[in-house]
C-alpha cells in the first residue's frame, strides 16, 4: 500500500465510490504507477504478481474509459484460466458498481455457449475471456470488435506457457483499429518481449520491484524434513497454529493426489486440484474450498492459478518450486488484503542450492524452523482447551457439574487435581485419535469394527450410517456389515480394505447434523 490517494489519480467519482465500497483506501504500488499511464491511453507492460493489486491496476482505467452509452464491446481482457476470468469479472463489476448500465461478462469454455451468446447480444462493454472461447465467438460472429478500444492480457506469461500464443496474436489481429494494448505478466520471457515488439506501441514497462513482490506480512520459513513425513508435518503445523484454511503446493499431479489421501486418512478435510480434473470437477473442489467445507487444498502450480481466496492462513511448499518465480506466486496466495500469512517450504540438505536461488531472487532469507514434536502439538491443544475452559467458565450455568464434582465427596483430591484429571482425559483422548488417524493396513477381506461417535440419542439409524458412508466416500453401501447402534455411539463392521477410506472421508463430516469422529474400535 502507498500513502497516496485514489483521488490523486484522476479517477472519476462513481469509481471512487466503488473502491470505497470495496474497502480500498490507498492505491497499491502497481496501481499508483499504472492507472495514470493507462488513463492516457498508453500501452503498458506491467510486471506484477497476483496479490499486488494488478487486477484493479488495469480494471480501474478500463472501467473508467468505458462509454456505457455505446452498447458494444470496447475492451477484451484475456485470462489463461476460467477461474481468473471469473475473478477479474467480479472485481470489474465491483469497481463499476456505480456506473449505470455497465456490462461486464465472462466468456470461457465449459459454460453453455448459447448463454454467452445471449449475454453478448444484450450488449457487453467489457468481455473477460479465456482465449479459446473468445476466438470461438469471434469466428462465429457472435462478438464484434468494431468498437474495440483496448485489449488486456492478464498473466500473459502463463497464457504463453499454456500454448495460447497464436490465440493471443489472433485477438490482436481481429481488431481493425489500433488499440491500446495492456499486458500483465509475472516474468518478461522472450515470448512476452516478442509480442511487445510486434504488437505494442512503444509500451511503458512498469515493474514492481522484486523486494516488494513478496508481501511483508507473510512470514517465510523453511523446514528440513524428509519426504515421507511431510504430510505429518503439515498436520502438526495446522494444529499448533490453529489454521483452518491452507494451501499445499506439489510439483506433480500424482503427488497432489497422494498428499490429499494422506491428509484425509489423518482426518483433515482435504481435496486436490490438478490438470487432470475437468472443469466441473475443478469448480466443485473450488466451491468446497471457498465455503470452508475443505480445510486444505492441495494443488499444482498451474491448477492453482487465479485462486483468489483472501483467508488462506498458510501456504505449504511440499516440494520446492521448480522456478523461483513460482515461489512468489505460491506464497502470494496467503497474506492477502492486509492479512498476515505463513509460508512454509519443505526442503532437505541436498536441495540447499535450489533454495538459495529462491532466497537470492526474493531478497529474503527463509527462517529455519523445526517440525513440531507431538509434545508441542499436545501442549498447544491444551492451551486451546484452556481458552475454551475460560469461555465456559465465563458463560456460567455450571451448577449441575459443580454438584457432580462435589459428589466425589471425600478429601482425597483437591479440585485442582480433579480439573487436571479431566484435562488429562481430554488430551489422552486426542492422542489416541492421532493413532487412529494413522490406520494400519488391515487385511483386505477381514471385517474390522469401527467406532462412530453418534448413536440413538442423535436419532441415528443403520440406514443413516450406510447412507453417510456411501455418500461421503466411494465405499459401496452393500459391503458394510453389521451395525450396532448404542445411545451415544455405534459400531460398524467394514471390510479392512475400506478402513482408511472411511476414516479419511467420514471424519469431520456430519451424520444427522452431528460432526462425526470415526476410528477403529
Ligand atoms: P490482485 O493482485 O489483483 O489479485 O489483488 C490481490 C488482492 O488485493 C485482492 O483481494 C484485491 O481485492 C485486493 N486489493 C487490490 N487493490 C487493493 C487496494 N488498493 N487496497 C486494498 N486491497 C486491494
User: Ligand 1 mean position to 335 CA, how many Å?
Assistant: 11
pLDDT mean across residues, the chain = 86
User: Ligand 1 mean position to 211 CA, how many Å?
Assistant: 18
Instruction: Identify the three-state secondary structure at position 452.
Output: strand
Predicted confidence (pLDDT) per residue in 186-214, tens digit:
888 888 999 999 889 999 999 876 444 45
1-5, 180-184, 410-414, 443-447: which has the highest mean pLDDT? Answer: 180-184
User: Ligand 1 mean position to 76 CA, how many Å?
Assistant: 21
| Percentage of residues in the chain having pLDDT higher than 90 | 40
> In this structure, what C-alpha cell is assigned to residue 126?
467489457
User: Ligand 1 mean position to 52 CA, how many Å?
Assistant: 6
For residue 91, which atom of ligand 1 is closest to its CA?
Answer: 12
Dist CA 184 CA 120 (whole Å): 25
Dist CA 173 CA 153 (whole Å): 14
Q: Is 299 in the pocket of ligand 1 (CB under 6 A)?
A: no
User: Ligand 1 mean position to 99 CA, how many Å?
Assistant: 20
Q: Please tell me the residue having the least CA distance from ligand 1 atom 5.
A: 53
- Residue 155 is predicted with a pLDDT of 93
User: Ligand 1 mean position to 334 CA, how many Å?
Assistant: 12
b/e code 309-322 from CB counts within 10 Å (16+ = b): beebbbbbbbbbbe
- Residue 426 is predicted with a pLDDT of 74
Q: Is 48 in the pocket of ligand 1 (CB under 6 A)?
A: no
Count Cα atoms within 13 angstroms, Cβ side, for 512: 17
For residue 22, which atom of ligand 1 is closest to its CA?
Answer: 12
User: Ligand 1 mean position to 114 CA, how many Å?
Assistant: 33
- Residue 214 is predicted with a pLDDT of 53
User: Ligand 1 mean position to 309 CA, how many Å?
Assistant: 11
Q: Is 185 in the pocket of ligand 1 (CB under 6 A)?
A: no
Instruction: Identify the three-state secondary structure at position 225.
Output: coil
User: Ligand 1 mean position to 50 CA, how many Å?
Assistant: 9
User: Ligand 1 mean position to 333 CA, how many Å?
Assistant: 12
Nearest to 305, CA basis, from 281, 344, 279, 273 = 273
Lowest-pLDDT choice from 76-85, 91-100, 224-233, 365-374: 365-374
Q: Tally DSSP H helices, then E strands, for the chain.
A: 20, 20
For residue 310, which atom of ligand 1 is closest to its CA?
Answer: 10
Q: Is the per-residue pLDDT at 430 higher than 50?
A: no
111-125, 205-219, 401-415, 504-518: which has the highest mean pLDDT? Answer: 111-125
- Residue 306 is predicted with a pLDDT of 63
Q: Which of 169 and 302 is assigned the larger pLDDT?
A: 169
- Residue 297 is predicted with a pLDDT of 95
Q: Which residue among 4, 26, 49, 56 has the greatest number of ligand 1 atoms within 8 angstroms of its CB, and so is best to mutate?
A: 56
Q: Which of 425 and 286 is assigned the larger pLDDT?
A: 286
Lowest-pLDDT choice from 140-144, 154-158, 215-219: 215-219
Predicted confidence (pLDDT) per residue in 284-331, tens digit:
998 888 888 899 999 998 776 667 777 889 999 999 988 777 888 888
Q: Which residue among 19, 24, 49, 53 has the greatest number of ligand 1 atoms within 8 angstroms of its CB, and so is best to mutate?
A: 53
Q: Is 260 in the pocket of ligand 1 (CB under 6 A)?
A: no
- Residue 435 is predicted with a pLDDT of 45
User: Ligand 1 mean position to 125 CA, how many Å?
Assistant: 23
User: Ligand 1 mean position to 184 CA, how many Å?
Assistant: 15
Q: Which residue among 9, 11, 55, 90 has the greatest number of ligand 1 atoms within 8 angstroms of its CB, and so is best to mutate?
A: 55
Q: Return all residues near 43 (Cβ < 8 A) that are at least 6 apart.
A: 180, 181, 182, 200, 201, 202, 203, 204
Predicted confidence (pLDDT) per residue in 450-505, tens digit:
888 888 888 899 988 998 888 888 888 888 998 988 888 889 999 888 888 888 88
Instruction: Count the neighbouring beta carbons within 10 Å of the beta carbon of residue 146.
Output: 9
Beta strands in 423-499 (DSSP E): 447-452, 483-485, 490-495
For residue 55, which atom of ligand 1 is closest to its CA?
Answer: 3
- Residue 431 is predicted with a pLDDT of 44
Q: Please tell me the residue having the least CA distance from ligand 1 atom 14.
A: 53
Q: Is 24 in the pocket of ligand 1 (CB under 6 A)?
A: yes
Per-residue confidence band for 117, with pLDDT thresholds at 50, 70 and 90: very high
239-243, 322-326, 441-445: which has the highest mean pLDDT? Answer: 239-243
Q: Is 54 in the pocket of ligand 1 (CB under 6 A)?
A: yes
Q: Please give the backbone phi and psi of residue 371, each rounded to the nearest 5 degrees, phi first.
A: -65, 135
Q: Is 50 in the pocket of ligand 1 (CB under 6 A)?
A: yes
Q: Which of 64 and 352 is assigned the larger pLDDT?
A: 64
Cβ-based burial of 139 (10 A; exposed 0-12, middle 13-18, buried ≥19): exposed
The domains of the chain, with CATH numbers, are 6-207 (3.40.50.300), 218-372 (3.40.50.300), 379-436 (no CATH), 447-520 (3.30.70.330)
- Residue 445 is predicted with a pLDDT of 73
Dist CA 403 CA 209 (whole Å): 65
b/e code 108-126 from CB counts within 10 Å (16+ = b): beeeeeeebeebbeeebbb
User: Ligand 1 mean position to 213 CA, how many Å?
Assistant: 13
> In this structure, what C-alpha cell is assigned to residue 6?
485514489
Dist CA 453 CA 519 (whole Å): 9
* pTM of the entire predicted model: 0.51
Amino acid at each position: 500500500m502507498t500513502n497516496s490517494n485514489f483521488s490523486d489519480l484522476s479517477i472519476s467519482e462513481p469509481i471512487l465510490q466503488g473502491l470505497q465500497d470495496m474497502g480500498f483506501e490507498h492505491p497499491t504500488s502497481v496501481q499508483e504507477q499504472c492507472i495514470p499511464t493507462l488513463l492516457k491511453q498508453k500501452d503498458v507492460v506491467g510486471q506484477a504478481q497476483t496479490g499486488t493489486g494488478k487486477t484493479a491496476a488495469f480494471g480501474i482505467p478500463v472501467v473508467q474509459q468505458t462509454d456505457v452509452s455505446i452498447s458494444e464491446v470496447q475492451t477484451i481482457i484475456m485470462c489463461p484460466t476460467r477461474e481468473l476470468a471469473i475473478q477479474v469479472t467480479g472485481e470489474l463489476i465491483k469497481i463499476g458498481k456505480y456506473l449505470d448500465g455497465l456490462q461486464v461478462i465472462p466468456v470461457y469454455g465449459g459454460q453453455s455457449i448459447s448463454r454467452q451468446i445471449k449475454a453478448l447480444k444484450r450488449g457487453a462493454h467489457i468481455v473477460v475471456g479465456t482465449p479459446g472461447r473468445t476466438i470461438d465467438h469471434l469466428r462465429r460472429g457472435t462478438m464484434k470488435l468494431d468498437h474495440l478500444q483496448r485489449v488486456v492480457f492478464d498473466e500473459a506469461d502463463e497464457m504463453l506457457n499454456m500454448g495460447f500464443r497464436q490465440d493471443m496474436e489472433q485477438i490482436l489481429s481481429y481488431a481493425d483499429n489500433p488499440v491500446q494494448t495492456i499486458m500483465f505478466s509475472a516474468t518478461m520471457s522472450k515470448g512476452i518481449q516478442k509480442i511487445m515488439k510486434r504488437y505494442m506501441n512503444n509500451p511503458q514497462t512498469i515493474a514492481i520491484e522484486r523486494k516488494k513482490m513478496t508481501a511483508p506480512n507473510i512470514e517465510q520459513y523453511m523446514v528440513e524434513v524428509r519426504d515421507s513425513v511431510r504430510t505429518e508435518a503439515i498436520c502438526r503445523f495446522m494444529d499448533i497454529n490453529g489454521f483452518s484454511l491452507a494451501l499445499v503446493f506439489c510439483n506433480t499431479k500424482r503427488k497432489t493426489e497422494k498428499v490429499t489421501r494422506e491428509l484425509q486418512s489423518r482426518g483433515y478435510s482435504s481435496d486436490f486440484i490438478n490438470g487432470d480434473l475437468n472443469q466441473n470437477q475443478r469448480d466443485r473442489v473450488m466451491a468446497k474450498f471457498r465455503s470452508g467445507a475443505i480445510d486444505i487444498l492441495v494443488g499444482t502450480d498451474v491448477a492453482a492459478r487465479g485462486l483468489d481466496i483472501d483467508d488462506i492462513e498458510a501456504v505449504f511448499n511440499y516440494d520446492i518450486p521448480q522456478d523461483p518465480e513460482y515461489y512468489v506466486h505460491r506464497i502470494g496466495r496467503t497474506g492477502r488484503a492486509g492479512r498476515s500469512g505463513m509460508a512454509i517450504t519443505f526442503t532437505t540438505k541436498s536441495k540447499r542450492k535450489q533454495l538459495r536461488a529462491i532466497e537470492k531472487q526474493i531478497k529474503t532469507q527463509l527462517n529455519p524452523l523445526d517440525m513440531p514434536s507431538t509434545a508441542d502439538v499436545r501442549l498447544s491443544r491444551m492451551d486451546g482447551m484452556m481458552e475454551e475452559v475460560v469461555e465456559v467458565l465465563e458463560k456460567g450455568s455450571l451448577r449441575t457439574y459443580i454438584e457432580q464434582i462435589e459428589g466425589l465427596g471425600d478429601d482425597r483430591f483437591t479440585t485442582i487435581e480433579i480439573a487436571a484429571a479431566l484435562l488429562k482425559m481430554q488430551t489422552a483422548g486426542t492422542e489416541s485419535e492421532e493413532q487412529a488417524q494413522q490406520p494400519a493396513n488391515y487385511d483386505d477381506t477381514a471385517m474390522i469394527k469401527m467406532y462412530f461417535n453418534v448413536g440413538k440419542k442423535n436419532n441415528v439409524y443403520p440406514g443413516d450410517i450406510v447412507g453417510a458412508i456411501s455418500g461421503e466416500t466411494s465405499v459401496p453401501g452393500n459391503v458394510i456389515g453389521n451395525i450396532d447402534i448404542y445411545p451415544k455411539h455405534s459400531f460398524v463392521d467394514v471390510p479392512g480394505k475400506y478402513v482408511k477410506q472411511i476414516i479419511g472421508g467420514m471424519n469431520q463430516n456430519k451424520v444427522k447434523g452431528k460432526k462425526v469422529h470415526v476410528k477403529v474400535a
